[in-house]
Structure 1
Amino acid sequence: MLEATLDRLSENPSAWNVLRSAVEAGFRGERAVIDNELHPWDGDPDRRFLDFGCGTGEFAPSFPAERYTGVDLGLHYVRWAASNRSGSFAVGNGAALPLQDASFDAALVVGVFHHLPDAVVRGAVAELHRVLKPGGILLAMEDIAPRDAWNLAGHAMHWLDRGGYIRSDADYRALMGPHFATRREYAIRSGICDYAVYVMDRCGAVELHP
């Protein structure tokens, strides 16, 4: 019953965004990580940022609008984001991103990979490697079980989570390893939800598409 309700809510971008913002305290935890790791408002004014699996574009305000691109598989999410957020948005999936080679300086992935099987994650990671410039950064945040045993609401939300592929740090390192080197990893709490954070550097040269 509750899972069916969550499924229905996820089909309504406005309602889903309100629910997620409520349980994650306005995404303050994730926004702080973005600021600390990517410094989107500092440095080179030409840096470009990709938000892979952007959903309703909840993290678009963390970036300069003219240098932010959000991509999501859900057309209803992309349409909502394009109407309610600043930045550029496009429909696409990890198998073939509708983006040019070496066109971004950093990529953000929040709560996406734990919805996908290993083979699909590997394909998406390869595509992120392709669209990032040499020296680019991948910042991934993925759901983990709450570390606080008394965070009962967090444990309930984790149990209800739509993702069926919760992985360990070692699992993610193995999936990313061919294309990205781990700079650091740590855990955060955002509202009642816990995330593992992976800061990774792009490996190797760009393999240009013909």
Structure 2
Amino acid sequence: MNAIKSIVSWLAGRPALFDSLRWVLEGGFVQHRQIIKSHLSSTGRDVAWKVLDIGCGTGLYAAHFPANQYVGIDISPVYTNAARSKFPEHRFETGDARQLTFKGDDFDAAFISGVIHHLTDDDAVAVLKEAIRVIKPSGRLVVWEDIPAPWWNIVGHVAHRLDLGACIRAADGYRKLIEHALSDDSERPATQPSLHVYTVRSGFMDYAVFVCDFSAGPAEDQSD
């Protein structure tokens, strides 16, 4: 198993190969695209949203947004360089999501995909708090993360054993982290977002999806 993990680590340092492996395991990212279409698309809005992609990797989702309405950030320069090569018109920055350099209320929406399961609780809350800080008071935060596979999903279990993220949690574990980050949001304590939670499967992988909508008024948990 350690030898296989070493191979996965080697692949992770080669963005094109790693993305190809993910494409197979994650069903061509079909559900990821649906999440973006459902919760982050500017279609039908009077003004296009400015969106921050936290942990953007190679810019897998950049094509779903106009170049002037999208910013991606990732801690790995290997990945942000690959993203710039694929999407030269889009903006990508290399940086630590626990300490974003953007101004407060700079984005209409932010999303985090496949990042939190790599982080300890403290680091996860720090990233979530920064995401909340840079979103406008009427904005939206969308998070989707790996959750444990059902017993019969052998491929999903093996993939998680090999995953470089050591903190895969049940949906309730991620929700508690999000609620913790929201409870520390002193700048808008009177307007906590609604929190809609549901699960999806894309390929062999299962995900919990969290939609925090600040424009919806008082806090409301709508778990499926």
> CA separation in 1, counterparts of 2:12 and 2:178?
28
Please report how far the alpha carbon of residue 18 of structure 1 lies from its aligned counterpart in structure 2 after TM superposition.
1.3
1:71 partner SS? strand
2:97 partner SS? coil
Please report how far the alpha carbon of residue 182 of structure 1 lies from its aligned counterpart in structure 2 after TM superposition.
4.5
Q: Structure 1 stretches (4+) deviating beyond 3 angstroms?
A: 179-182
Which position in structure 2 is the counterpart of 1:144?
147
1:83-141 CA-to-partner distances (Å, cap 9, x unmatched) read: 10242100111221121211101111101001001111111111111110002111100
CA contact (8 A) 1:40 1:62 kept: no
Which position in structure 2 is the counterpart of 1:113?
116
2:72 partner SS? strand
Q: What TM-score do you get using the length of structure 1 for normalisation?
A: 0.90
Unpaired runs of 5+ in structure 2?
A: 186-191, 218-224
Q: Does 1:194 align with 2:197?
A: no
> CA separation in 2, counterparts of 1:79 and 1:95?
20
Deviates more, 1:99-108 or 1:32-41: 32-41
Which position in structure 2 is the counterpart of 1:126?
129
Do the aligned partners of residues 46 and 62 (structure 1) sit closer, same or farther apart at CA in structure 2, a change above 3 Å counting?
Answer: closer
> CA separation in 1, counterparts of 2:149 and 2:46?
37
1:64-103 to structure 2, matched below 5 A, reads 64-85=66-87, 86-103=89-106
User: Alignment partner for residue 155 of structure 2, among 135, 153, 156?
Assistant: 153
> CA separation in 1, counterparts of 2:106 and 2:46?
14
Which position in structure 1 is the counterpart of 2:222?
none
Deviates more, 1:110-119 or 1:93-102: 93-102
Which position in structure 2 is the counterpart of 1:208?
none
| One-letter code aligned to 1:42 | G
1:27-42 to structure 2, matched below 5 A, reads 27-42=29-44
2:146 partner SS? strand
| One-letter code aligned to 1:8 | W
1:120-177 CA-to-partner distances (Å, cap 9, x unmatched) read: 1111111111110002111100101123x33221221122111111223333232222
1:171-190 to structure 2, matched below 5 A, reads 171-177=173-179, 178=183, 179=185, 181-190=193-202
Do the aligned partners of residues 164 and 46 (structure 1) sit closer, same or farther apart at CA in structure 2, a change above 3 Å counting?
Answer: same
Q: What TM-score do you get using the length of structure 2 for normalisation?
A: 0.85
Unpaired runs of 5+ in structure 1?
A: 205-210
Q: Does 1:47 align with 2:59?
A: no
User: Alignment partner for residue 170 of structure 1, among 155, 172, 176?
Assistant: 172
> CA separation in 2, counterparts of 1:63 and 1:198?
20
| One-letter code aligned to 2:124 | V
Please report how far the alpha carbon of residue 62 of structure 1 lies from its aligned counterpart in structure 2 after TM superposition.
1.7
> CA separation in 1, counterparts of 2:84 and 2:4?
30
User: RMSD value over aligned CA atoms?
Assistant: 1.8
> CA separation in 2, counterparts of 1:9 and 1:118?
26
Which position in structure 1 is the counterpart of 2:221?
none
Do the aligned partners of residues 68 and 108 (structure 1) sit closer, same or farther apart at CA in structure 2, a change above 3 Å counting?
Answer: same
